[in-house]
Amino acid sequence: MINKELKILGISKANLGTSTGTKQFAKGKFITSYSPVDGKEIAQVQCTTKKEYEKVIETAQQAQLSWRNIPAPQRGEIVRQLGDKLRQLKPTLGKLVSYEMGKSYQEGMGEVQEMIDICDFAVGLSRQLYGNTIHSERPGHRMYDQYHPLGIVGIISAFNFPVAVWSWNAALALVCGDVVVWKASEKTPLCAIACQQVLAEILKQNKLPEGISSLITGDAEVGNWLSEDKRIPLISATGSTRMGKEVAVKVAQRLGKTLLELGGNNAIIVTEEADLKMTLIGAVFGAVGTAGQRCTSTRRLIVHEKIYEQVKKSLVDAYKQLKIGDPLDSKNHMGPLIDQDAVAMYSKAVQSIKAEGGKILVKEEVLKGKGYESCCYVRPVIAEVENHFAIVQAETFAPILYLIKYKGDVENAIALQNEVAQGLSSAIMTTNLRQAEIFLSQNGSDCGIANVNIGTSGAEIGGAFGGEKETGGGRESGSDAWKVYMRRQTNTINYTTSLPLAQGIKFDF
């Protein structure tokens, strides 16, 4: 089904493995990529061995020595070419994302658009890697700070955004003068190979060295090699909180740097003064988009008691209209979960809801029969719960929406929202300015993302993306997120013939 797209993207049996550019090599065990759309095998990909990993890192080290000396605007030119190539390949790569991961085709193309957008952002950034000038307390001295490349950036990405997260990191790291080594999810290896092929061809056309962008393939063991490697100053890891904690410990033990973008348990607060039409659209897309497998997916809907019954009825009615099926068919609203393990997690979560006393409003179901051969399609669930339920406090990567009632002022709703371990995305639906401003204040949402009158899901690349608490504290994409990919240096220049010391210290002899 996807053979034409693989060919256009330059993927063949010859390059299904480790890569330091246009050179592919792998001798490890095989992993098989199955499509959750129809359950069919797409391809087998060979994993990276430890010996091959060492070759990748050595090649990356050599490439970085020359790459860092290329002026930043010229590095930006390479990223510009990547963005232009992605524009040409958007429908093709979007289809591969949809077929291998299971998200809708529109979402797949939207993910490629994110890649294009971050390339555009990074190109402009390549002329804006600003430091500050600082007034010295000593006469005849000048101070400033500047930023230098870190070296190798290790990227560990998850299945749910198999191409965008790599681009958020790679585009910024490259203009900052770093080289990248990417360990993609073993559930979506072909998307990673496609991205590596595209960038590798651009590097080759520009006569740039192997190793500026490298791909390693495998399971958690390969990720551990990156995390424990002292030659890699920064690890950017996206995935579960459990995974992030393991990475953080390993990197901290060698005093490396981490950029962690981990789990979310995102809520929309719906006040008594909300626009309910907007609320319904934001909540439904947030809950069922990507089959609830976004880190920004809406997990909890915290609704004021005055409008609770009305919101509940509207949601249940809306869910009856949802079409579930092949994500490449634009008529469908929701595709499959990534695999059978995800389906089992969905079913287990529903049982936990019932065991804790929750009420299922839209019943769970694993869909079977024609069009559902992969057995990865499920019916999205709505459940009435209490915020303190253990299952509600956890992140479930599935289309399960928890409906929670609150009473009184908006501060009560904010307290419920913040009463979870995760702190990624949040939103409030209200036409009341006071409520909106309280939500955005220091006494409001404790999340890295706080929205007013839009949902929790979907973010523009111009803003920094990430969250607090067990979400990890990292920031990717826009704003000044580029600074994490560079080392900061403070410089003081004395242009006099004397040597005064700071703080007025005297040291004469």
The 8-class DSSP code of residue 402 comes to: E
Residues 6+ apart with CB under 8 A from 198: 9, 10, 82, 85, 86, 89
Contact in structure between 238 and 223 (CB atoms under 8 Å): no
Residue with tokens 């991205």: 195
Structure token pair of residue 249 = 């410990």
Distance of CA 398 to the CA centre of its chain: 17
Does the annotation count 54 as an active-site position? no
Helix (H, G, I), strand (E, B) or coil at 366: strand
Helix extents (H) in 126-188: 164-175
Please name every residue paired with 148 in a beta bridge, in sequence order, or none if there are none: 487
Cβ atoms of 179 and 212 closer than 8 Å = yes
Is residue 436 within 8 A of residue 452, CB to CB? The reply is yes
CA distance 115 to 178: 18
| Phi, psi of 360, rounded to the nearest 5 degrees | -85, 120
**∠ CA(439), CA(476), CA(461), 5° rounding?**
75
Long-range contacts for 316-324 (Cβ within 8 Å, ≥24 apart)?
A: 316/361, 316/362, 316/382, 318/280, 318/284, 319/284, 319/362, 319/380, 319/382, 322/284, 322/288, 322/380, 324/367, 324/377, 324/378, 324/379, 324/380
Could you give the C-alpha distances from 165 to 155, 184, 192, 302, 410, in angstroms and in order? 9, 10, 11, 29, 34
Choice among 52, 186, 210, 261 that is catalytic: 261
The identity of residue 496, as a single letter, is: T
Cite the active site residues: 261
